[in-house]
Chains A and B, each alone.
Chain A
Amino acid sequence: MRWSCRQYRALLPGYIERELSPKQRERVSRHLSTCAECYMAHTEQRQIARELAISLPRIGAARAGEQALRLEKIRAGVMHEMRQPKPPMRLYQARYSLVALILIVTLLMPWTMRGQAFSLPTPPQPEQIDPPGTPVVALPTADAATLTATLQANYAPQPGATEAP
C-alpha cells in the first residue's frame, strides 16, 4: 500500500528517536531519500528535537543546594500530610452525595419502570356463570317490580342509623 507524505511525517518523531520497527524505519528512510519536502521537515524536526533534548532537562532544575532545600521542604509537607488522620466527611460532601443520589434515582426510575403501564390496573372481569349460549330468562314485569321494592325496603338506610365505620 502506498503511503502519503502526511503518513510519513506522522512517523518522523519515532524515526528521529529511533523508536520505529526496522521495517518502518527502512520505509521512512527510503521515502526521505526521494522526497525533498519530507526530508526538509525531517531536518527541522531533528534540529528541534536536539534543542529540546538539551534544554528541557534543565527546565525546573536548580543548583544542588537550592534543589535540596526545595525538595526537603516538599518532603516535610508530604510527611506532615501523611500523618494527618483522614478527615471526616464534611457537611457539603454529604449534601452533594444526597443530591447526587436523588438525581440518580430520578433518572433511573423511568428506565426501571420501562414496560410497565403507568395507568391503574383494570379490575378483573366477573366470571360468567352461565355457559355461553344459555338462553336468558326474562322475569315477568310484575315479578321485577316486586323484587325491586323488596330490595329497596331491605337495603334502604334506616333513619337515625349511623354509617358503619
Chain B
Amino acid sequence: MTEVDCEAAVARCLRGEQAGFDSLYDQFAAGIYRLCYGLLLNREDAEDVTQEAFVYAFKNLHRYDARRSAFKTWLYTIAISRCRNMYRRSRPGLVDLGQLLQIGLPAPDGDTPEAMFAYQTAQEAVERALHSLTPRLREAVVLRYGHGLTYREIAEVMGCPQKTAESRVRLAHDALRGTLNQGLLEELVSI
C-alpha cells in the first residue's frame, strides 16, 4: 500500500466507511503485532497492545497529519508508546521463560529432526539475545532489522534525534556481540 493509498484509506475512515478501517487493519496489523511481540516477547501482551494501538489510532484518526509523518510511522509511534506503558505495568519477575522459548519464530516447513533442532537453537538464541537488551536498545534493533525502518524513521518513531537512534543500534550491536555467535547465521539460513 503506497502512501497515497494510505491517505485515501484514512479519508474513507474519516467519512465513517468500514472498508477504510478494514483496509488499514489488513495492511498494518501483522507488522504491528510483530513489532509488539518483538518488544514484549509475550504473545498475550502483544495481542493486547496491538488491539489498543489500533483502537487508539482509529479513534484519533482526525489527529493524524499526513504532512508531518507517514501513516506507518504514526501507527508505529502509537504502538511503541503502548509497549512502553506495558513495560511499566509488567513485572519482570513474572515473565514465563518456558513460554518465551516456545513461541516467536514460525516453525520450519520441513519437519526433519535436523531442521527442528536448528530452528529450536536459532529461536532460543534470538529470543535470548533480544531479552538481554534494554527496552530502548531492543526497540531500535527491532525497528531497524525486524521492520526495515530507516534511521530517520526510527528516530521519528522513538522520539529521539537520528544520531541517538544510530547510537542505540550500535550499542545493541555491542550488547549482542556476545549473545549471537558466528554459527547462528548458518543455522538461520538453513531453516
Contacts and interface: CB of A to CB of B under 8 A. Distances in A.
A82 interface: yes
B38 to A, nearest CB: 5
Nearest to B54: A78
Interface string A47-62: 1111111111111111
Interface in B136-177: 141-142, 144-147, 150-151, 163, 166-167, 169-170, 173, 176-177
A75 B151 contact: no
Q: What is the predominant secondary structure among interface residues of chain B facing chain A?
A: helix
Contacts of B169: 13
Interface string B34-62: 11111000000011001100110011000
Q: What is the predominant secondary structure among interface residues of chain A facing chain B?
A: helix
Given A48-B177, A82-B59, A58 B170 contact: no
Interface stretch (A63-71, A97-105, A120-128, A130-138): A63-71
Given A19-B151, A50-B185, A81-B55, A59 B38 contact: yes
Contact of B104 (A50, A51, A59, A63): A59
Contacts of B184: 51, 55
Contact of A49 (B21, B30, B173): B173
A77 B36 CA distance: 16
A74 B50 contact: yes
Interface of B: 21, 25, 29-30, 33-38, 46-47, 50-51, 54-55, 58-59, 104-107, 122, 126-127, 130, 141-142, 144-147, 150-151, 163, 166-167, 169-170, 173, 176-177, 180, 182, 184-185, 188-189
